[in-house]
Chain A
Amino acid sequence: EVVLTQSPGTLSLSPGERATLSCRASQNVNSNYLAWYQQKPGQAPRLLIYAAFTRAIGIPDRFSGSGSGTDFTLTISRLEPEDFAVYYCQLYDTSPLYTFGQGTKLEIK
């Protein structure tokens, strides 16, 4: 089973700043199978990015995904107040079908 490790655990930034969140896989993975989610307190996760780079419907273009091999990044170009949340990466694999990172909490500085 591939393990996804996200860093940092908590990221403290101010609105307007750029956020860079990392997701590292324990072995090389197909970038087409990597996704990112945003979760706010009391809510379900919301799909942001799939296939490493493709934004889901309705996701603003300040969110972008990149990476290959074992290292993947979610970038938020200019933070809005509503972007402060927990972010998860997810891999589509064989068994189990979906695995998740432990999350990065993006908090207001």
Chain B
Amino acid sequence: VQLQESGPGLVRPSGTLSLTCDVSGGSIGISNWWSWIRQSPGKGLEWIGEIHGSGRASYNPSLKSRVTISVDNSKNRFSLELTSVTAADTAVYFCTRNGQVSLDSWGHGILVTVSS
């Protein structure tokens, strides 16, 4: 399976970060869970949340109030929205497939900078 992130590379402070992950080589909705991870110099690797093809989602408590992850089975993609962003949200964002207690497939990542 291949994953590809897309979206704006620059977001204004207090705005909303919106990213999409296109999945190819497999169906998003059959049996897997899918996650968003971010990586920044200050916080390292951080799990943001996950979603199942059914639409069921769970989030990192530290971000839960600002995060929504959704899925579009018809387009074989899932998406991330992060509201009220600050400079601390500047990071490389990865989408992944959840494997057995691990993350077994990763997109290349997309750098998102929060700046005015």
Contact = CB atoms under 8 A, between A and B. Distances in A.
A32 B101 CA distance: 8
A43 B92 CA distance: 11
Interface string A13-34: 0000000000000000000111
A100 B99 contact: no
A90 B102 contact: yes
B35 A44 contact: no
B99 A50 contact: yes
A81 interface: no
Contact of B101 (A35, A46, A101): A35
A44 B45 contact: no
Interface of B: 35, 37, 44-47, 50, 58, 60-62, 94, 99-104, 106-109
Interface string A36-63: 0100000111110011000010000000
For the side of the interface on A, what is the size category? Answer: 20 to 34
Q: Which one of B44, B50, B103 has the highest number of Cβ atoms from chain A below 10 Å of its Cβ?
A: B103
Nearest to B35: A98
B100 A98 contact: no
Contacts of A44: 94, 106-109
A35 B100 CA distance: 10
Contacts of B46: 100
Contact of B99 (A32, A47, A96, A103): A47
Contacts of A32: 101
A99 B46 CA distance: 7
Nearest to A33: B101
Given A56-B102, A95-B60, 13 more contacts: A37-B103, A45-B45, A47-B99, A50-B102, A51-B101, A88-B45, A92-B102, A95-B61, A98-B47, A99-B47, A100-B46, A100-B47, A102-B44
